[in-house]
Structure 1
Amino acid sequence: MNKLILSHYEINRDTTALFSANHIDYCTVVWEREQLYYIKKPVLQLVKEGCLEGGADYDGRKTAVIYKTGIQSRIPIPINPNEHIYAFPTHSPKLHECSWIFYHHIKTIKRHPNPQQSLILFKHGKELLLDLSYHTLERQVQRTSHCIVRFSHQEQVSGYYF
């Protein structure tokens, strides 16, 4: 099977996860619902470009999350709040092994027999085994949920959204 290697990729509602790759032809593996893409740009560059497409730069989004939530490490990012695209890093974004998981695709997370690993079950039926403890993954999911609440601009008043 041929790999679809792209020089450009835009994060969208189908983006499920981004993984760093050690390959001569590409730097990132993008996992969408039904497709894998291999991208020549690094993971963090894709996240930063996604933030710009969403109306702000990565550093601004990161600063706003810190300000609104108090989260200081492994900060979830509202990549495009208007499109409800939120992602969290599995490690420090500066590290090569950092992957980004897109919150709205997660169905549930599960413990793994190896305490240093955990499992994500996605809504589209796929599973992902991460080298991340269940506790750390659970904390990242909770932080992202908190971030979504803090960045939600819709307020319901008498059945209308503002």
Structure 2
Amino acid sequence: MDLVYKKEYEVNPRTMALVAGYDDQGQIITEIIESDQCFYLKDWPSKIVDHSCRYFASSLEGRISGTKQVAGFTHKPPIVISQKMSMYFFPIISPKRKECSWIAHKYIRTYKGENDHSTTITFTNGTSINVPVSVGMISNQIQRTAQFRFTLEDRLKYSAPKNDVVAENYA
């Protein structure tokens, strides 16, 4: 397969994963897996995630801090890049490490552990990736992301103004 590189990228609703890898010179690159295409960026995944968070008026550090506030998760916390676009991602290792890959929660169909203690994740479009972490860790990250997503969406639902209150304020 030919390597197609792009210069910049924002995570979007089609993004399924940002997978860390290495180029021929041993530099970390990111394989961007979208629902309909794959390509590479000459940056590490967490840098791309940070850039995308900044596009939506925050930062990776800010999103991590928000997750800690909402759900209490401090290690390998899932984040929301855009709640309105339902873009929830989780890291497979510490997001401070350049080798950290990020997975979109909503696209996971199945996952299974392999004999080498890695995990194969299959996405809703049938694409699969293998990540170098245990199935227990992936299972935990999926559950934590679901809990965070539910808590945040529930919090936002109950803090939204009622239509009559909004109408009253503008009458």
TM-score normalised over the length of structure 2: 0.82
Q: Is the 8 A contact 1:50 1:80 kept in 2?
A: no
Query: In the alignment, what sits opposite 2:134?
Result: 133
Greater mean alpha carbon deviation, residues 5-14 or residues 49-58: 49-58
Query: In the alignment, what sits opposite 1:113?
Result: 115
Q: Percent of aligned pairs with the same residue? A: 27
Mapped to 1, the partners of 2:139 and 2:10 lie a distance apart of: 27
Greater mean alpha carbon deviation, residues 128-137 or residues 82-91: 128-137
Q: Is the 8 A contact 2:67 2:78 kept in 1?
A: yes
Query: In the alignment, what sits opposite 1:13?
Result: 13
Is 2:157 the partner of 1:154?
yes
Q: Is the 8 A contact 2:81 2:88 kept in 1?
A: yes
Greater mean alpha carbon deviation, residues 53-62 or residues 71-80: 53-62
Once the 2 structures are TM-superposed, how far is the Cα of residue 147 of structure 1 from its aligned partner? 1.3
Per-residue displacement from partner, 1:90-113 (whole Å, max 9, x unpaired)?
001122331100111101222333
Runs of 4+ displaced beyond 3 Å: none
The AA in structure 2 aligned to 1:5 is: Y
Within the candidate set 25, 34, 37, 1:35 is matched to: 37
SS at match of 2:157: coil
Once the 2 structures are TM-superposed, how far is the Cα of residue 55 of structure 1 from its aligned partner? 2.9
Query: In the alignment, what sits opposite 2:105?
Result: 103
Mapped to 2, the partners of 1:64 and 1:72 lie a distance apart of: 10
Query: In the alignment, what sits opposite 1:75?
Result: 77
Once the 2 structures are TM-superposed, how far is the Cα of residue 26 of structure 1 from its aligned partner? 7.1
Change (3 A) 1:37 1:26: farther
Matched residues, number: 157
The AA in structure 2 aligned to 1:76 is: P
Query: In the alignment, what sits opposite 2:169?
Result: none
Mapped to 2, the partners of 1:109 and 1:19 lie a distance apart of: 16
Mapped to 2, the partners of 1:66 and 1:126 lie a distance apart of: 31
Gaps of 5+ in 1: none
Once the 2 structures are TM-superposed, how far is the Cα of residue 45 of structure 1 from its aligned partner? 1.4
Mapped to 2, the partners of 1:134 and 1:41 lie a distance apart of: 27
Change (3 A) 1:118 1:21: closer
TM-score normalised over the length of structure 1: 0.87
Per-residue displacement from partner, 1:100-156 (whole Å, max 9, x unpaired)?
001111012223334x1222121001122221111111000011111111221235x
Larger radius of gyration: 2
Q: CA RMSD in A?
A: 2.2
Query: In the alignment, what sits opposite 2:87?
Result: 85
Q: Is the 8 A contact 1:54 1:82 kept in 2?
A: no
